[in-house]
Amino acid sequence: MKSGSENRGLSFDRPVASQIYAFIRDAIVSMELLPGQMISETALAEQFGVSRTPVREALIQLANIGFVEVLPQRGTYVSRFSVEKILEARFIREALEVAVVMHLAENVTPEIVQIGEKMIAEQNVAANDDDPHAFQRLDDEFHNTLANFTSYSRVATLIEAEKAHMDRVRKLSLHMTGQYKRLITQHTAIIKAIKAGSPEKAAKAMGVHMKDVYNVLQVIPKEHPEYF
């Protein structure tokens, strides 16, 4: 992680701990901070130009969602991948996201379809550029946008919290042969089902998409056993 609070864009008009939490979480998801890597409160405080208190608060938040592990007398470490937590997150996400797309299919509007198709087009560009960072950001935006279209304020937040355990392994999975195309095909099927006003097809398409993690877990643990 780069040093200097200016580089990290901290705004003292907003809670500093929540901003540091977001920065560290992004560094963990992007694999800038690797599973098993030690995290120093003192070093982070110096990098952000703040006291250790907001850094400690941010790390507590990260520990609560399972992104870091605090070992007494040893320090704080980035959590290794947990297949159990990944599968649990998939299970919960599927329940939520299937409900989301069924709701949207039952209440479809031209705006939902237009924005969904636009985001898929942008994902195609990211895939053609072989830009995993842009692709994953657009993937996140796709799911977040669908959730927000339900008008239920907590849905997107709940999905975001649960998918945390899938984010890092998803990032690694983008290097798998055909993964860009597979995910775009799945997103396209979801939007087509919503556009058709079919809750049943939308549910089936999202279920297939959520179960893609099983394919990922056949590959990533063998390629990166050090992360588990």
Is 154 or 4 the better-scoring residue by pLDDT? 154
Helix (H, G, I), strand (E, B) or coil at 75: strand
- Sequence-separated (6 or more) residues with CB below 8 Å from residue 93: 159, 162, 163, 166, 210
Residue 199 CA to residue 203 CA, distance in Å, equals: 6
Q: Are 105 and 202 in contact (CB under 8 A)?
A: yes
pLDDT in tens, 54-66: 999 999 999 988 8
Q: What is the mean pLDDT of residues 12-32?
A: 90
pLDDT in tens, 190-222: 999 999 999 999 999 999 999 999 999 999 999
pLDDT at 5 over 70: no
Domains located in the chain, CATH noted: 5-78 (1.10.10.10), 83-227 (1.20.120.530)
- Share the mean pLDDT of the chain: 92
